[in-house]
Amino acid sequence: MNMKIVSLVALGAMIPALSYSAPQQQSVSPAEKARIEQVVHDYLLSNPQVIMEAVQVLQKKQMDEMQQTVQKTQGVAAKYAESLFHQNNDPVAGNPQGKVTLVEFLDYQCGHCIEMSGMVDEAIKKNPDLRVVFKQFPIRGPVSVVAAKAALAANQQGKYFEFHNAMIQTVKKGQPLTENDVYQVAQTIGLNVDKLKTEMNDKVVDQSLKNNYKLAQELKLFGTPAFFIGKTSLAKNAATGSITYIPGGMSESQLQELISKNQG
């Protein structure tokens, strides 16, 4: 949803409350309340710039709060290096022994995750020293949870990356993702679907998702995709550098710059 629309909705909800707060304490009559509403309404129609000024103030406040959250996450990311880089049962692509690790929290119903997938694939091809860790973080409803569980179960059958790429291509078609789509993808890439469904309810899969949710909460993540990148050795030796946090998307050149920076 457009930030201005969100801000205007919020402003519309705030103005009446601010206008009535003091009078309501004195038991404002319905007629007086209606008169106050009309005064506010007429004033805003006569001075529409006030709405835009309020929207700009609200947007700045929201951006400042988001930036503060990003800075806090950036500041504590290294503390969670082991969980980010080497959490049990996380799917890994690229070079498993790579000196640089890129971590992505993703949801298969996240449009930005789909947009970034091609860039991550290219980064893997261009950087033989890159290790990519995928963290399933289903936050967009029940179908996202099914897809995440299926991906982790596919990982147990040794076909995570094939499943992941096939899911991306399915979602790119633009149709709403369904549970049946998830199983169709699994069948298409040669997975044993019955076995997959059993493994989706396995304790290992359940624990992996719980670990990801817990880690996301500790890092105060507010959406997907969320990327973390740093030297793989950082998980064992904090002196080797820091972890960079990138909320949302980034350009191919930005990603390559971060990879190159951590290769030295």
pLDDT digits (tens, 9 = 90+) for 237-262: 665 568 999 998 899 999 999 999 99
Distance CA 163, CA 234 (A): 29
Question: What b-and-e string marks burial along 238-250, b requiring 16 or more CB atoms within 10 Å of the CB?
Answer: eebbebebbbeeb
pLDDT at 59 over 80: no
Integer angstrom CA distances of residue 139 from 62, 108, 142, 163, 167: 21, 10, 9, 19, 17
Return the pLDDT at 46: 85
Share of the chain above pLDDT 70, in %: 81
Identify the DSSP state of 16: H
Q: How confident is the model at residue 9 (pLDDT cuts 50, 70, 90)?
A: very low
* pTM, entire model: 0.74
CATH annotation of 77-263: 3.40.30.10
Neighbours of 164 (CB within 10 A): 25
Task: Give one word for 226, left, alpha or beta, with left for phi > 0 and alpha for psi -120 to 50.
Answer: beta
Identify the DSSP state of 140: S
Return the pLDDT at 249: 81
The string of pLDDT tens digits covering residues 146-200 is: 999 999 999 999 999 999 999 999 999 998 999 999 999 999 999 999 999 999 9
